Structure 1
Amino acid sequence: MESVRIRPMAEDDLPGTERASAVTFLEGDRLTRRVSEPEPEPRSAEASRRWIERMRFFLSIDPGGCWVAEDAGDIVGFAISQNRGPIWYLATYGVLPGRQGKGVGSRLLDAALAHADERPGLFSSTVHPGATRRYRLAGFSLYPQMRMVGVVDRSALPKVTGLHEGREEDQEWMDRLDHDLRGAGHGPDHSFMRNTLRLVVSRASGRPGYVYIDQDRGQPALLAAGHPQTAQKLLWEALAASRGPTLVNCITSANHWAVDVGLTARLDIGQEGYLAVRNMAEPAPYLASGHFL
C-alpha cells in the first residue's frame, strides 16, 4: 500500500481511470449477478466514451473532488465527487479488485470526504461489504434500493397528459424543486444532462416535476417531482419511450409510487445496493441518478 499515491485527478488520467472503472464494476456485477440474469458484459466503446465525457465534465466543474490512486504510473482506484452549493455527492468510486482490502479505498474516500467539508451528502452504493462498512463508519445511513427490469407491457401504458419537452428556461424552477427534495439544486449538471438526454417536464402549478430519459438505453436517468402522481406520470412517459428491455433503479422505500408503476408495467423487481445519505433526509418523490444523484 505504501507505493500507492493518492493524488488529484488530471485530465490525462481519464482513459486510465475509465479502464480501472470498467474492470472494477464488471467484476462487481459478476459477483452480484443473480442466477436468472445474463452474464455481465464489458463496457462498449461508446459507453466508455460517455463515461469519460461525464468525468471530464466533473473535473471541469469541481476538480477538487476528483482523486485517483496511482501505483507505478497505473491508476488502481478513483473517487470522483462534487460539491453543489450545500450538498456533496459521490459520482463514482472504486478500487481494482486485486487492490481491495489494503486501505486504498479508505484513503480515497477520506480525500473525497475532506472535499465535502461536512456538507450533507448522498451517493448510490453497491452491496460490497467492505465498502458499506466504510460508508457506515463515515456517518452515512444506508437505505436499501430496488430496481425493476424487463420489457414494458405496452398494453398497460396509460394516456399521459400535461407533460412537455424541457427547455433551458425550466432550469430555474427545476433547481428550486431539487432544493426542496435534496437540499440543493443540480446547477450545471442540468446543462450537461440536457445536452445528452431527453428532458420531459411537468409545469403544473403546485405539481412540478421532471425526468431525464436515456433514449439509447430506453430508461429514466433522473426523476424529481413535487407530488407522487406527477412522478408516476413522468415515469410512465419514460417507460413509453423504451424499446425493448428497460431498467428503473435507485428506488428506495420512500418511493413506492415507482414500484406501483413498474409492477403495472410487468417489470421484475429486485434489490440493488443502497442509497447512502448523511445529514439529510431520503429524497422523495425522487429517483436518483447513478452519477448525478
Structure 2
Amino acid sequence: MTSVAAFDPQDLRIRPMHADDLRLVERLSSSAFVDLEARLAPAGQEAPSGRSVQAAQIWIARTARFLDSDPGGCWVAEVGDAVVGFATSFRRETTWFLATYAVATPWQGRGVGKALLDAALQHSRGCVRGMLSASSDPRAARRYKLAGFDLHPQMTLSGTVDRTAVPELRNLRDGTPGDQEWMDSLDRGNRGAGRGRDHEFLRSVHRLRVIDHRTGRGYAYSNLDGVQLLAADNRRTAARLLWDALAAVPPGRSTRVAHVTGANQWALETGMEAGLSVRLDGFLGLRGLKPPAPYLHHGALL
C-alpha cells in the first residue's frame, strides 16, 4: 500500500462500490466518525465509541439497499490496494441525498474527499433539490458550501427524560404499510420527495408511530435511544409525536433528539420541557430547499 507520506494524487482511484466492500467501508466509517467526534468534542465530554455489532449490521443492510437502488451514487476511493474513503448517495423522485461520506483519518486533507463528493454529485444530475447532513468539521462544511449547498446549523438535545413532564397523549397508534401513501405525500411537502421503499427498511428496524386525525397528520420512527425521524403537517402534531417517542425511552436511560434546525423551535421547546439539554451539532445542507419543518431528519435516509 502507498504510504500517506509518499502519496501522489495520481495514485488515487475512484471506482463504483461493490457488495464486497460493505464490511470494510462500515469499519472505515465507524473509525472515521469516532475520530471526528473525539476531535470536535467539548472538554469533559465522554469519549465516543464505535458502532455496536447490531448497529453495524443495520448500517451494512441499509448501505446494501443503496447499492441495489442507486449503484450510480455509491463510490469508493482506493490508493494502491487499500480503500481510503467512500460516499453513498441516492435519488428519490427529483431530490438527491448524500447518505454517508467518510475518508480514513490519515488520508484526510489530501483531495480524497473532494474526488469522492464530485463522483457522488454526478448522481444528482437532473435533480432540482439536494439534501445532506454534515458534522461540524470546518473542512467538510467548506466542501459542501463550494458544492452549492446552503448550510443551516443543527442542534442536538440529550439527557434523561423528566417522566413527570410527559403530557397525556391521544390519537396515536402504530403505523402500518397502509399509511405509506399519505406519509410519502407529507414528505414531498417537507423535502420534495417521498421515501418509497425506504419506509420498508425503516419499519424493519424502528418503531413506527403515527397520528392520522382531523387535527393533523404525522409519523415518527424511534428506537430505545429515542426518535430517529419525524415528519408532520403542523407543530402540535409534531410535538405529540416527539413526546410519544421520548415517553417510550426506558426510565433512567439517556436519549437524544438530533438534527434540530432553527426552523423547528417546537422540538427545542418539547425537548427542554422534557429536561433535555441542547448543544450545536453540525449542519443541514440544502440545495433548492428551505429547512423542512415540522421535521427531524434521519441521519442517512434524511
Q: TM-score, normalization: structure 1?
A: 0.97
Are 1:144 and 1:253, in contact at CA under 8 Å, matched by a contact in 2? yes
Task: Give aligned pairs, total.
Answer: 291
2:242 to 216, 235, 241: 235
Counterpart of 2:5 in structure 1 is: none
| Counterpart amino acid of residue 170 in structure 1 | D
Are 1:16 and 1:74, in contact at CA under 8 Å, matched by a contact in 2? no
Instruction: Provide the secondary structure at the position in 2 that maps to 1:34.
Output: coil
Instruction: Provide the secondary structure at the position in 1 that maps to 2:36.
Output: helix
d(CA) in 2 for partners of 1:241, 1:89: 29
Counterpart of 1:26 in structure 2 is: 34
Shift of residue 206, structure 1, vs aligned partner: 5.6
Moved more, 70-79 or 12-21: 70-79
Q: Runs of 5+ in structure 2 lacking a partner?
A: 1-8
Shift of residue 44, structure 1, vs aligned partner: 2.1
1:102 to 93, 110, 114: 110
| Counterpart amino acid of residue 223 in structure 1 | L
2:93 to 81, 85, 93: 85
How do 1:141-160 residues align onto structure 2 when only pairs under 5 Å count? Answer: 141-160=150-169
Counterpart of 2:69 in structure 1 is: 61
Shift of residue 205, structure 1, vs aligned partner: 2.9
Shift of residue 81, structure 1, vs aligned partner: 0.3
Percent identity reads 46
d(CA) in 2 for partners of 1:131, 1:226: 32
2:48 to 24, 40, 45: 40
Q: Does 1:221 align with 2:228?
A: yes
| Counterpart amino acid of residue 52 in structure 1 | I
Counterpart of 2:217 in structure 1 is: 208
Can you list the C-alpha shifts for 1:177-205, whole angstroms capped at 9, x where unaligned? 00011111011111110111110001113
Counterpart of 1:179 in structure 2 is: 188
Shift of residue 118, structure 1, vs aligned partner: 4.6
1:292 to 287, 297, 301: 301
Q: TM-score, normalization: structure 2?
A: 0.94
Shift of residue 128, structure 1, vs aligned partner: 1.1
Can you list the C-alpha shifts for 1:53-74, whole angstroms capped at 9, x where unaligned? 1111111111111111112222
Instruction: Provide the secondary structure at the position in 1 that maps to 2:133.
Output: strand
Can you list the C-alpha shifts for 1:19-78, whole angstroms capped at 9, x where unaligned? 110111010010111224211112222222221111111111111111111122221101
Instruction: Provide the secondary structure at the position in 1 that maps to 2:255.
Output: strand
d(CA) in 2 for partners of 1:102, 1:190: 37
Are 1:206 and 1:226, in contact at CA under 8 Å, matched by a contact in 2? no
d(CA) in 1 for partners of 2:30, 2:186: 33
How do 1:127-142 residues align onto structure 2 when only pairs under 5 Å count? Answer: 127-142=136-151
Counterpart of 2:135 in structure 1 is: 126
Shift of residue 279, structure 1, vs aligned partner: 1.1
d(CA) in 2 for partners of 1:44, 1:73: 27
